[in-house]
Amino acid sequence: MEEKAQQPVQEDFTLTPLTPEFNEGNHRSYVKRINSALEEPKIRNIALSGTYGVGKSSILQKIAEEHEKDVVEISLSTLAPAAPEEVDESIPKQASTTTNRIQHEIVKQLLYRVESHNAPRSRFNRIERFNCKREHSIAALSGIVLTLLFLLMEWTAKIISIHESIAALGAWIHVIVFFLLASCTFMARYLFQGRVNISQLSTGNTAISLDEKSVSYFDQYLDEIVYFFEVSEKSIVIFEDIDRFEDSYIFETLRSLNTLLNNAPQFESKPIRFIYAIKDSIFDPSAQNSLNKKTKEEVTIPPEETEIQRANRTKFFDLIIPVVPFITHRSARDLVTKLLSEISHDIDKELISIAARYVPDMRLLRNVLNEFIVFREKIFTDNDKKLNLNESELFSMMLYKSTHLSDFELIRLGKSKLDKIYYLSREFVNENTDTINKEIRTSTLNLTNLSEHSIKKRCLDFGERLIAHIERTARATSFHIDNGVFSFASKQYKLTELTGINFWNEFISNQDVQELSWNQYHYNNTLTFYRSDLKDVLNNNLDPCDWKEVDSKKLKTDISQKKAKLEFLRSATIRNLINEPQLNLDNNFLRSAAIQDLIRESKLTLDDNKPNQTFDSITRQIVSDGLAYQLIISGYLNRNFTLYTSTFHGKAISANAQNFIIHNVEPNIMDEQLVFEERDIKSIISECGEQALSEPCLYNISILNYLLNFDSVKSDIMIQSLIQFGDEELLFLQAYLNGENQHTNLIKKFTLKTVEILEFLVNQVELNDELRLSLVNTALEHLNSELEYNLDDTVSEYLQANYAELPTLINTTNKDQAENITKLYGNAVIRVSKLQSLSEKIRNAFIAKDLYEINVDNLKTALGSETNLALDVALEKDEEIYHYLLRNLGKYLQAVINTSKTISSNEYFIRVVEDVLALKNTRDLDNVVMHASGDCIIEDLHQVEKDTWQCLAEFNRFTPTFDNISHYRSTVGEIDEYIEKVLIESDVITEYELATEDEKEKLAVYILHANGDFLTSGHIVQLVDSLNLTNYIDARRLPVEKGELFPLLLKSNLIEDSADTYEHLLATGWPTRERYIEASNKFHGYITPELLQGNLAAVLASGKIGLDTKVSIIERAEEFTVDCSKNDLIELAQFAINQDKKLPIDVIEKMAIDEVETKNVILLLSPHLTPSINAEQLFRILERLKGDYPKLISKGTDRPEIPNTLEDHKLVKVLETLQIISSFKEVADGFIKIFKKHK
């Protein structure tokens, strides 16, 4: 209905009165019947029944005209029921009932109709107008009486005596007194007319009160009512609108009143008749809206009693005359058409049918027509032609006005139900647009990640069907499927994991694996499911390529359909929204703060059982299903409704623009989705002024598109407001960027004006990846060099993650763009991972500003070398690159250690080492030196800082010259692990020729302090020997050390072979001293018991020590056995036996005492067994031996036995010579039996 509009030809039409109009054809029969009833004396209560609008008032008006002198008309149309809070406590409770309030109004209207002078006996003096004719008569009469009184009382004579000058008047003085007294009387009555307070009664403002003891006003004022009928001579009372109050009890009181009046003798000849205009439903308990006067609670009435009450209406009236309706919802169409035929119009027939169906009331229809004529005359003017209004919509608005009076008045305030529906329709459009845009973004993302989406979409469905198949199989085999684990492609899965994307990713990607197996815990039971069988069970070939094709087609179709919905929403009318059931609003949105006032004021209730609401259901909850709803869904009440409520002054603009100004600009409400044509936008800007573009009410997609395309200056006004990025701005911008609008132009302007553009694009607006990337690229392309853009962590991460996909960074050849982008990335501290993907200008700029990660690819690009990525190459190429690598040396080393040497040329070795040293990072210095080229060697340590020497030594980066080693020693001090590494790699110390003997010895001693764990003793001695020392090294200056060092030094003739040297080694263990003795050529010459320090046995037992040393000990056996141990004696005995050396008899005796083995003692004793042997000493020796030897020299008859050896034979013979034994003989088992002497 909004598309068609016509400007009718204006004519001057007379308005149709709304007063009752007697229709001879329709009403005469009812008048005739009432007149006939009035002729019947017994008929005193007559009811004219019928619904509103059937003509009851017209009929009764005719009766009043025909019986003018006898009729009193009482109308109760202005009486309203009293609210409980309005009832004064001083008023009796019974006075506030509906029945008594109706009686109060009836009594007041009756008493008001009679003038005071016509009811002189009434106890109420009524205020009435001043009657000059009557008052002149009263004044004249009063003047005559008072004049006679003055004569009789001689007051006139007294006046003359006081004022003698008037005595000449004579008799005329009495005439003068008459006129004076009459005039005073007249003036007094004039002045005090109506100024006396009359208690209890007022008309107009008259109040009639009810005493506490009175039950009703009729009872209390019955005498006044009777007196009224007596003096007025009225006999017919017509009651209208008495049924408005849904109180049937009033008819009972009126009938009682009528009976009382007619029982009075004065009315016997002329009975009083009451005629009522009523509707039948007042006697239907189920139809009454008001509560019964006796109770405030609803009472449930049995059906039979309800029927009795309906029938009881006949007891109130003597005659009921029904008025047959001549207009219904069926016949109203013809009557409306007839009414409209009186004027020229262009109202749709469909609208006429709606009006007839919902407004079957002739008076109301006439009023609608009148209002239509007046509004059309004022609204349809030449100035309003551009509003494109039409008569059908105006007529529908007049229908709404006549049936929703209070709501129509709220339209000018923007708070009517129609306003609420309009605003909700816009919210409905905006919210659904936002929802659909989100769905499009999701579908677009799924289309981009089609493979993952295809599998993820199916995994739950496939998983559930697979589990169902497995459970069926398990039941058939009596296995408990939960008591086992599934295996596929060497991975195990629980039953619940078969619905997960991880399992299906594996299952789909491993097409070669044909079996899914289930293995029972603790048992050897297995179920095997083959891929071919599962394809049949799942009814799918499990080929993701097919899925992608199907899903791609479906997603594209879905996106296309959603875009069509967006187009529909952009131009949708309220009627379109109602008729579109597929669109809805979430209840959570309807409860949001943005529209909660609308919902509250319109009493919109939401069904919590329904998660969503269609716009049709929302509309029904606001205006129900009546006339308003029909006008809305038919399109006659639409968004232009406000344009039909008043005239609009000023420039002529379109309806669309005027609507926007009314509904959005004036209340400052944003509607971003409303569609405008170019002329509408021009009109809006012209009407509101350019500065209004900064207000949220003008945030509209169509307006901004127009401004960006055609008016850059004005667009800046709106953009300056939008870049504040408040809640409304973000809401609008989200909607704007969701659609296909001037995104590039907008972001270009944003970028030039606000530092927050990138934070907005990355953090504050929801966009699909492709669009976000495009808009960020636009922003980078138009960066303002004068702005410092805000860049939080999220923006930095985005720029770093997506730089290789930004066309500006890949393709730009513009120097200014390159500088601006480089500045931005520099401020964000972003380092790109692949320089090669950037354009040449961007790449060079990034390299110059160190905006790249240090990795092999970037180093190859920055240094222009595929293999040599050394620091000295960077130094030669560009010192900025070199210093950048030094500042990030750890990352550089991590990148190149396994790829390139850190320093490739010895020429720059010292420079690089010292630069790295300046960084004060020992670990990085170590790595640089360690991974430098093998050619990087320092000849003279004085060329580099001393702090580098240990590092250089650790990685053998200087030559082992005498000076280098000596300088290292003098600087570092004790030999450390680092210099040891140099010595390890060196065979000789070079360039020692100029050194003094003392200097060489000091260096030798320094070297000899090296840790033998790393540097072998042999190597140490080799290095020392290479110094070509002339003098011996003082052994006491050397560390006491176990191992080969001293023996090797001794062999190399570097230390003196002397007792002092050996004594220096006494702190070491025997193995060291053993090797020393072994190496010594002179030890046998200076050996002493003090030097041996308990090592006698060790020396004798050693297989390494020469015989000369051992023989020297044998030769000096008494000296070495002075303070020796048993073990020493054992070894000494053994060595002497082995070498057939003779030991002194005293030493042998000591051996016997220390229980050296008897056999060895006998062997060693053998050389001394001669007749000259000291017998006492021999006896002492034999006493200490084991076996029967001690028995040989003891007295007794026993016959001891000793071994049968040569030495023992020799012993026996000596004893025999000494006459210790008598004889001996050889016996079995290798023994000799000894026969002792008895005395």
What are the backbone dihedrals phi and psi of residue 481, each rounded to the nearest 5 degrees, phi first?
A: -65, -25
- Residue 697 domain flag: yes
Give the per-residue pLDDT at 790: 92
Q: At what angle do helices 417-448 and 450-477 cross, to 10 degrees?
A: 80
Residues 862 and 882 in one domain: yes
Tokens of 111: 């008493």
How confident is residue 635, by pLDDT bands cut at 50, 70 and 90?
confident
Pairing of strands 484-488, 273-278: unpaired
Q: What is the pLDDT of residues 1044-1056, one digit of tens each?
A: 888 888 888 888 8
pLDDT for residue 602 is more than 70: no
Nearest to 1053 by CA among 1074, 1073, 1082: 1082
What are the backbone dihedrals phi and psi of residue 1026, each rounded to the nearest 5 degrees, phi first?
A: -70, -10
Residues 107 and 254 in one domain: yes
Please indicate whether residue 798 or residue 337 has the higher confidence score (pLDDT).
Answer: 798
Give the per-residue pLDDT at 775: 95
Instruction: Look up residue 365 and give its amino acid.
Output: L
Give the per-residue pLDDT at 752: 93
Instruction: Look up residue 827 and give its amino acid.
Output: N
Residues 769 and 808 in one domain: yes
Structural domain including 825 reads 753-852
Burial of 137 (0-12, 13-18, 19+ CB in 10 A): exposed
Give the per-residue pLDDT at 285: 61
1048: which residues sit within 8 A by CB, 6+ positions away? 1017, 1018, 1021, 1079
Helix, strand or coil for residue 585? strand
Give the per-residue pLDDT at 749: 94
Residues 1058 and 981 in one domain: yes
Cα distance between residue 235 and residue 44, in whole Å: 10
Residues 164 and 288 in one domain: no
Give the per-residue pLDDT at 547: 62
Instruction: Give mean pLDDT, residues 94-102.
Output: 70
pLDDT for residue 201 is more than 70: no
Instruction: Look up residue 303 and give its amino acid.
Output: P
Lowest-confidence segment of 244-258, 483-497, 782-796 by average pLDDT: 244-258
Radius of gyration in angstroms for the set of CA atoms belonging to the chain, rounded to a whole number: 66
Give the per-residue pLDDT at 798: 93
Of 837, 852, 867, which residue constitutes the final position of a domain?
852
Instruction: Give mean pLDDT, residues 870-896.
Output: 91
How confident is residue 211, by pLDDT bands cut at 50, 70 and 90?
low
Residues 983 and 1103 in one domain: yes
CB atoms within 10 A of CB 88: 8
Instruction: Look up residue 505 and give its amino acid.
Output: N
- Give the range with max mean pLDDT: 313-322, 506-515, 1136-1145, 1192-1201: 1136-1145
Pairing of strands 236-240, 1231-1236: unpaired
Give the per-residue pLDDT at 284: 66
Q: What is the pLDDT of residues 214-238, one digit of tens each?
A: 667 777 777 778 777 887 788 899 8
Please indicate whether residue 1133 or residue 55 has the higher confidence score (pLDDT).
Answer: 1133
Give the per-residue pLDDT at 1094: 78
How confident is residue 468, by pLDDT bands cut at 50, 70 and 90?
confident
pLDDT for residue 912 is more than 70: yes
Give the per-residue pLDDT at 599: 38
CATH label of the domain that carries residue 305 = 3.40.50.300
Residues 227 and 119 in one domain: yes
Q: What is the pLDDT of residues 1074-1120, one digit of tens each?
A: 888 888 888 888 888 888 887 888 888 888 888 888 888 888 888 88
Tokens of 469: 């198949």
pLDDT for residue 761 is more than 90: yes
- What kind and span of H or E run contains 1132? helix 1126-1139
pLDDT for residue 90 is more than 60: no
Give the per-residue pLDDT at 165: 66
Q: What is the pLDDT of residues 281-304, one digit of tens each?
A: 777 665 454 444 444 444 455 554
- Residue 1233 domain flag: no
How confident is residue 759, by pLDDT bands cut at 50, 70 and 90?
very high
Phi-psi region of 1094 (alpha: psi -120 to 50; beta: other; left: phi over 0): left
How confident is residue 795, by pLDDT bands cut at 50, 70 and 90?
very high
Cα distance between residue 858 and residue 819, in whole Å: 20
Q: To 5 degrees, how large is the angle CA 774–CA 779–CA 784?
A: 165
100: which residues sit within 8 A by CB, 6+ positions away? 94, 210, 216, 217
Give the per-residue pLDDT at 845: 93
Instruction: Give 349-357 contacts, CB < 8 A, sequence gap 24+.
Output: 350/634, 351/392, 351/395, 351/396, 351/631, 351/634, 351/636, 354/396, 354/399, 354/627, 354/630, 354/631, 354/634, 354/636, 355/395, 355/399, 356/329, 356/332, 357/329, 357/332, 357/333, 357/630
Burial of 730 (0-12, 13-18, 19+ CB in 10 A): middle
- Residue 914 domain flag: yes
- If one counts the domains in the chain, the total is 9
Residues 775 and 843 in one domain: yes
Lowest-confidence segment of 137-151, 349-363, 550-564 by average pLDDT: 550-564
Tell me if 261 sits within 8 A of 226, measured CB to CB. Answer: yes
Tell me if 989 sits within 8 A of 965, measured CB to CB. Answer: yes
Instruction: Give mean pLDDT, residues 993-997.
Output: 79
Residues 613 and 709 in one domain: no
Cα 975 versus chain centre, distance: 65
What are the backbone dihedrals phi and psi of residue 543, each rounded to the nearest 5 degrees, phi first?
A: -110, 110
Nearest to 381 by CA among 191, 593, 646: 646
Strand partners, 237: 72, 274
Tell me if 1149 sits within 8 A of 1181, measured CB to CB. Answer: yes
Cα distance between residue 1072 and residue 1078, in whole Å: 10
Query: In the chain, what percentage of residues exceed pLDDT 70?
Result: 82
Of 675, 707, 741, which residue constitutes the final position of a domain?
741
- Give the range with max mean pLDDT: 44-58, 152-166, 233-247, 817-831: 817-831
What are the backbone dihedrals phi and psi of residue 1227, each rounded to the nearest 5 degrees, phi first?
A: -125, 175
pLDDT for residue 1194 is more than 60: yes
Residues 875 and 841 in one domain: no
What pTM did the predictor assign?
Answer: 0.59
How confident is residue 1009, by pLDDT bands cut at 50, 70 and 90?
confident
Cα distance between residue 110 and residue 201, in whole Å: 12
Instruction: Give mean pLDDT, residues 658-675.
Output: 84
Pairing of strands 236-240, 273-278: parallel
Lowest-confidence segment of 378-387, 463-472, 626-635, 907-916 by average pLDDT: 378-387
pLDDT for residue 746 is more than 90: yes
Strand partners, 852: 832
- Residue 699 domain flag: yes
- Residue 1236 domain flag: no
Instruction: Give mean pLDDT, residues 168-192.
Output: 76
Tell me if 1165 sits within 8 A of 1188, measured CB to CB. Answer: no
Pairing of strands 515-520, 526-530: antiparallel
pLDDT for residue 482 is more than 70: yes
Cα distance between residue 1028 and residue 354, in whole Å: 130
Tell me if 841 sits within 8 A of 807, measured CB to CB. Answer: no
Give the per-residue pLDDT at 292: 46
How confident is residue 452, by pLDDT bands cut at 50, 70 and 90?
low
pLDDT for residue 653 is more than 80: no
Nearest to 794 by CA among 770, 816, 821, 772: 772
Instruction: Look up residue 1112 and give its amino acid.
Output: S
Cα distance between residue 1200 and residue 1233, in whole Å: 6
Give the per-residue pLDDT at 778: 95
1044: which residues sit within 8 A by CB, 6+ positions away? 1017, 1018, 1075
- Residue 941 domain flag: no
Q: What is the pLDDT of residues 1159-1189, one digit of tens each?
A: 888 888 888 888 888 888 888 888 888 888 8
Lowest-confidence segment of 559-563, 747-751, 983-987 by average pLDDT: 559-563
Written as one string, the DSSP assignment of 213-265 is T-S-HHHHTHHHHHHHHHHH---EEEEESGGGG--THHHHHHHHHHHHHHHSG
pLDDT for residue 847 is more than 70: yes
Tell me if 224 sits within 8 A of 107, measured CB to CB. Answer: yes
Give the per-residue pLDDT at 178: 80
Q: Where are the beta strands (DSSP E) in 301-436?
A: 319-322
Give the per-residue pLDDT at 1145: 87
pLDDT for residue 95 is more than 50: yes
Give the per-residue pLDDT at 213: 57
- Residue 786 domain flag: yes
How confident is residue 651, by pLDDT bands cut at 50, 70 and 90?
low
Give the per-residue pLDDT at 1149: 84
Helix ranges restricted to H, 992-1106: 997-1008, 1017-1025, 1045-1051, 1059-1064, 1070-1079, 1083-1086, 1089-1092, 1096-1101
Instruction: Look up residue 448 and give its amino acid.
Output: T
Cα 1054 versus chain centre, distance: 84
1067: which residues sit within 8 A by CB, 6+ positions away? 1040
Residues 996 and 886 in one domain: no
**pLDDT averaged over every residue in the chain:** 79
Tell me if 655 sits within 8 A of 387, measured CB to CB. Answer: yes
Task: Please state, in angstroms and as integers, the Cα–Cα distance from residue 288 to each residue in 161, 243, 285, 840, following that order.
Answer: 83, 11, 5, 90
Cα distance between residue 1056 and residue 1051, in whole Å: 10
Instruction: Give mean pLDDT, residues 254-261.
Output: 85
Residues 1167 and 1071 in one domain: yes
Tokens of 679: 């002329």
Please indicate whether residue 16 or residue 100 has the higher confidence score (pLDDT).
Answer: 100
Q: At what angle do helices 889-896 and 879-887 cross, to 10 degrees?
A: 100
Pairing of strands 45-49, 273-278: parallel
- Residue 1208 domain flag: no
Lowest-confidence segment of 276-280, 579-583, 1022-1026 by average pLDDT: 579-583
Pairing of strands 484-488, 491-493: antiparallel
Burial of 456 (0-12, 13-18, 19+ CB in 10 A): middle
Of 297, 322, 347, which residue constitutes the final position of a domain?
322
Helix, strand or coil for residue 124? coil
Instruction: Give mean pLDDT, residues 350-379.
Output: 79
pLDDT for residue 1018 is more than 70: yes
pLDDT for residue 738 is more than 70: yes
How confident is residue 586, by pLDDT bands cut at 50, 70 and 90?
low
Give the per-residue pLDDT at 1114: 86
Give the per-residue pLDDT at 2: 45
- Give the range with max mean pLDDT: 575-584, 611-620, 1003-1012, 1184-1193: 1184-1193
Give the per-residue pLDDT at 212: 55
Token pair 């039996």 in the structure block, residue? 1233
